[in-house]
Structure 1
């Protein structure tokens, strides 16, 4: 696959098979009949609906990662690319508002990224960890973005559907011929031959899409202000690493095969002059190191990363900085406070030798707050964050809320709760913020608000049944004495809204009638 590469997880793999590649998929998502143009077969509404369905399942996967700092960094790389693509006219009016244009993180050490229907792009932490510059990361995001803007996802699904029909027809004809001849070998040959023909058709289709995504993605990359050499640099390093260590860690290159032609084209787009090759900057080095720690949650892996406090072989300040940050964060995860403190101090000293980088310094402040939170030394954490007094980012809001939960003092709990409540009123799909709100309201002895926040957490990740169950629980609690009647009314209205949303979703999935056993219950 090229335009669509899902993370290799049982839940998501089953979803991909059932929604996209199985014979049942057209009935479930009401795909139009094959044979017309892509826009007729798989229009924007259908693509958006399919993307939303896939994301409902991905957000429930335990490897869907909510790390505020890392997500913020990827989004700050992604959003200029989306804006540049709009300026270039690649994002049409019908998709500009209706598609999500959202990037998200997958906790996986493999080097991979993938585009989904409806404007979603997933990034494995292993990909971030192996990049040496933001331009390289941006080149991959620009490429995946172009798969979406050029409707490659829709074209691929339609193309694979045709190929599936081709393969099925070939197998049926082969099996009929084999049954007449009484030959098992002939039947097997027919199956293998039909599958090979379909695979070759898909491969040829994908090569054209890859070339187009390279061309369009390069223009978007440069328009967004990134170095065009980032694409050539990423191609060359990935190919070299892939050939040196082909152990299954590079699924991106299996679904996006690099050829001499593609690498040559990337070089040629840089022009005749000497290109300005991407340079590492401290912030990217720290975020790549953070991805390296978070991509594998096993204690034995973190123990290995702790040893990076002794430094790495590269005689380069940036490499040494990233090694110490990785060691410090891994030590926090392992609750080895002394080692974390030592590695952090070394990283801070290395950072001081470099050109001033406010963003990198900010990342170190957040790391200090993480250590304080893990040690339950909340005063130290709030003191560290005070140096970033003008920072109103989501990452700051989340970190302060997490510290407040540990701290437990009413004034800090209330301050964070009010800030988060304002945030979710504007960003109701922020599941992590709702989850923190549930903890804060529980600490503040506001059970109805806590239950509602838990329900909204489930709704935000797409678990409508879980959201409905929690809100029903809240509604039962609201029938007692001395309850917040305003909050009770909010829960009642929200419950009705979610029940209606679930009804609409089931009607979309099963247009010919709800299957037996899945009838909608009474609203109350």
Structure 2
């Protein structure tokens, strides 16, 4: 079944801004020190206007059936993204205004195509297809660094400023159309007509200098962020190989970021000669998460069956540890998808043995074991497999909350979830988990508010307003003792979100 035009358009928007680039100029001090020219500062489009446009686009992407909130993969990508952001701050590439005003959020898409894209307002989209093919955390970081540099250099603002006579709605449609082309050229042609099509083509033609600038700035962020700059060369090798195979459409990143011999040579020249061909070994964590991305991208039953059988293949025990870890992880996750938990259970001891000594990889193995037991509806076994509570990151927190809810122990998760959303107010998944925990305890009013906050976190302000009003109505009709503090919070948040809804509607006129 084909997606609706709107959802295809939402995908198109993202790639067009990736095509168009996504940032502005490097700080004058940094460029002066390097002796490199600037490309302009994007001043014709205000930071606030760019953020509003990004918010309106991202709301549609959150509604896309391909949107995926997988806490494990989300945490991995977001951690790398934050490390690169920190490096950009230290190097002066990220201005205080952009740092404060932009969202800096990462969205994952279940799409199997190899693609990533920047959007107005500091949003980043990453397809599972990209996560599944990169060989190391450093290759993934090179893509993220490149896209981040589009944003910090305000390439999007400069390109949108060229279309300043268009309304935000038309600009958004043009951008969406280009992203739709990564999946359906026919859909893109249906959306992109007349002068709009010409505008998108102009963006494509204008991207080469931006691509080189994003390479240069992105490369400078790698080492300060804790990644090997060789990741750029490794990723370019993959893109070159795809070029030689006459890109069959699964590599839209090649069309949005055309690979030239000049770009490849420039990246290789930035590395010491003896390391330009160095192959970066994947960590156990990366190998396992790349396997997770491949399975969650829904490749089809035939491929899943192959992955399920792989740990039994001849010579498996002689493979490198990261290859064994990836295959075992994929087989277990595949067994969950095929509703065969017993098959998954038999591989867990081997996965735990392979990952022993690697704290992060071993934690991933324990989480996956708990997921297996949850799929088998044995919440008690899932709880026993969870790592000891200590530093609670998002994947562990949400998994623990899900298991606790199944065990009738939701009350003990309310405190940790409230603490989390107080510092991460835009985490829709955590708000939804908190809503479930409150509902399980009969605290309906609080559950309704948490549901409203989940909608607001995804910029669906109309739905949030509806839920806040539902909370007000429930409070008026309830015969139980009123939580006046909660009612006051709902009244205050309703007014704030109504104001945001008006701003959102005005931004599209």
TM-score bracket for this pair, using the shorter chain length = 0.7 to 0.9
Residue 439 of structure 1 and its aligned partner are, at CA, apart by: 1.5
| Alignment correspondent of 2:401 | 401
| Alignment correspondent of 2:129 | 126
Question: Does 2:251 match 1:253?
Answer: no
Question: Does 2:111 match 1:108?
Answer: yes
Pick one of 72, 76, 81 that aligns with 1:78: 81
| Alignment correspondent of 1:433 | 430
Structure 1 residue runs of 5 or longer lacking an equivalent are 1-7, 22-36, 165-191, 511-524
Say if 1:467 and 1:162 are closer, same or farther in 2 by CA, change over 3 A.
closer
| Alignment correspondent of 1:367 | 368
| Alignment correspondent of 1:216 | 217
- The CA distance in 1 between the partners of 2:6 and 2:473, in whole Å, is 33
Structure 2 residue runs of 5 or longer lacking an equivalent are 17-39, 168-192
**Equivalent residues of 1:312, 1:320 under 8 A apart:** no
Question: Does 2:88 match 1:89?
Answer: no
- The CA distance in 2 between the partners of 1:73 and 1:492, in whole Å, is 37
Residue 17 of structure 1 and its aligned partner are, at CA, apart by: 6.8
Pick one of 2, 11, 14 that aligns with 2:6: 11
Deviation larger for 303-312 or 83-92? 303-312
Residue 345 of structure 1 and its aligned partner are, at CA, apart by: 2.9
Say if 1:504 and 1:147 are closer, same or farther in 2 by CA, change over 3 A.
closer
Say if 1:507 and 1:306 are closer, same or farther in 2 by CA, change over 3 A.
same
- The CA distance in 1 between the partners of 2:200 and 2:60, in whole Å, is 27
| Alignment correspondent of 1:42 | 45
Deviation larger for 66-75 or 483-492? 483-492
Say if 1:379 and 1:198 are closer, same or farther in 2 by CA, change over 3 A.
closer
| Alignment correspondent of 2:479 | 481
- The CA distance in 2 between the partners of 1:155 and 1:365, in whole Å, is 47
- The CA distance in 2 between the partners of 1:139 and 1:19, in whole Å, is 19
Say if 1:398 and 1:469 are closer, same or farther in 2 by CA, change over 3 A.
same
Say if 1:444 and 1:201 are closer, same or farther in 2 by CA, change over 3 A.
closer
Say if 1:447 and 1:300 are closer, same or farther in 2 by CA, change over 3 A.
farther
- The CA distance in 2 between the partners of 1:79 and 1:221, in whole Å, is 12
Residue 311 of structure 1 and its aligned partner are, at CA, apart by: 4.4
Say if 1:150 and 1:476 are closer, same or farther in 2 by CA, change over 3 A.
same
Q: Deviations over 1:166-190 (max 9, x none)?
A: xxxxxxxxxxxxxxxxxxxxxxxxx
Q: Deviations over 1:211-258 (max 9, x none)?
A: 111111111112212111110011102321453373311101111111
- The CA distance in 1 between the partners of 2:315 and 2:247, in whole Å, is 23
Say if 1:489 and 1:394 are closer, same or farther in 2 by CA, change over 3 A.
same
**Equivalent residues of 1:448, 1:477 under 8 A apart:** yes
- The CA distance in 2 between the partners of 1:163 and 1:49, in whole Å, is 15
Question: Does 2:97 match 1:98?
Answer: no
**Equivalent residues of 1:64, 1:107 under 8 A apart:** yes
Correspondences of 1:114-513 after superposition (within 5 Å): 114-159=117-162, 201-244=202-245, 246-275=247-276, 276-296=278-298, 302-311=304-313, 315-352=319-356, 356-385=357-386, 387-408=387-408, 412-479=409-476, 480-486=478-484, 487-510=486-509
**Equivalent residues of 2:11, 2:61 under 8 A apart:** no
Say if 1:161 and 1:309 are closer, same or farther in 2 by CA, change over 3 A.
farther
Say if 1:261 and 1:458 are closer, same or farther in 2 by CA, change over 3 A.
same
**Equivalent residues of 2:336, 2:375 under 8 A apart:** yes
**Equivalent residues of 1:308, 1:326 under 8 A apart:** no
**Equivalent residues of 2:41, 2:153 under 8 A apart:** no
Say if 1:458 and 1:301 are closer, same or farther in 2 by CA, change over 3 A.
farther
Say if 1:311 and 1:287 are closer, same or farther in 2 by CA, change over 3 A.
farther
- The CA distance in 2 between the partners of 1:456 and 1:106, in whole Å, is 22
Pick one of 62, 65, 68 that aligns with 2:68: 65
**Equivalent residues of 2:42, 2:161 under 8 A apart:** no
Say if 1:452 and 1:20 are closer, same or farther in 2 by CA, change over 3 A.
same
- The CA distance in 2 between the partners of 1:207 and 1:199, in whole Å, is 14
Relative contact order higher in (CA < 8 Å, ≥ 6 apart): 2
Q: Deviations over 1:248-271 (max 9, x none)?
A: 111011111112221111111102
TM-score by length of 1: 0.80
In the comparison of the two structures, how many residue pairs are matched? 454
Is the radius of gyration larger for structure 1 or structure 2? 1
